Amino acid sequence: MSLKGIEIQTYRELQEKNSLAPVLEQAFGWAFDPARFDKSIRTDPRLRDGAVGFCAVKEGRAVGYVGVMDFTLRTVSGADERVGGLYAVATHPEYARQGISTALIARSHEYFLAKGYRFSILTTSPTIVAHDFYARLGYFDVAPFLSAYLGARTKRLETPTRRDLSKPDYDRMLELFHKSVRGRTGFALRDKDYLRMMFKQYEIASKECMTTERGYMIFKKEKEHARIRELVAEDGKEMLRLIGIVEGMTKKPVIGRLGIPYSKDLIKAYGSQGFTVLENGHGVLMAKELAVRASFSVSFGDKFCMGALDHF
């Protein structure tokens, strides 16, 4: 595709990084700060060894962007599979409908193929025009993201103790997580480096994580509600207890982000507590098969999982 006067560069090659600010703010409301973003690149294993993204550049300034990430997913056979991910697909409003995003995504696919990746994934909403755009480029829905909602309580169920609000125990959290995703595919691989990165990325404070012998929960008390970011436990009883503790911390509505679930106990626990579980909401994971004879369904089967913290 020929784009007159427009050059495609990697994010690392872009000289005027501040020129991305209007592109990303208009598309996502993202107040882009190059210094802060560059700092996150250095600590994010999904970004630090790659191109970070591709920019459409005209007269030295970015007019379009497609971010690229590197992921390691687990396959049906239990092997590690490196795949590419797209994020922050955006075009400056003055350059819309000129094929810029199409050209940048095509360049991203070339980049993934050069690295030997057979698949590309992205997250979007089935209710926006971008979903149809990605479908035309060969992407298909893998699974929707589940959420759970509970209105304000008139009284608290359980008040947390100081013991409940212990500091994050990364080793125990990883042990519990890997146990919970045994036999699952997709985002079933984590290490301490990745977990620390997610805590920093989502600005999770120590007091927003509780770890017990049989489970852990990451949550955030926001102005209008409490949000459960991740809940992992050995059984439904412990899940119920952890949910009850968060409810005991607030009388405001509680939102639970389940992601692409890997536990039926998790869905059952939320439902039994009176939460409305939304199985087809505004979030969906899409994938594209980049290589000939590559099959996403054969590689990952029907047990793909992706927690809310893995969202990109």
92 and 115 within one domain: yes
Q: Is residue 270 part of a domain?
A: yes
Find tokens 């590197």 and name the residue. Answer: 70
Categorize the per-residue pLDDT at 65 as very low, low, confident or very high, splitting at 50, 70 and 90: very high
Neighbours of 6 (CB within 10 A): 19
CATH number assigned to the domain comprising residue 102: 3.40.630.30
Summarize pLDDT for 185-232 with one digit per residue, the tens: 999 999 999 999 999 888 898 888 989 889 999 998 888 899 999 999
How far, in Å, CA of 113 to CA of 103, rounded?
15
Question: How much is the pTM?
Answer: 0.92
Residue 180 contacts residue 263 (beta carbons within 8 Å): yes
220 and 133 within one domain: no
Summarize pLDDT for 243-295 with one digit per residue, the tens: 988 888 888 899 999 999 988 999 999 999 999 999 888 899 999 999 999 99
92 and 24 within one domain: yes
Range of the domain at 34: 7-143+283-310
Q: Which helix (H) or strand (E) is 27 found in, with range?
A: helix 20-28
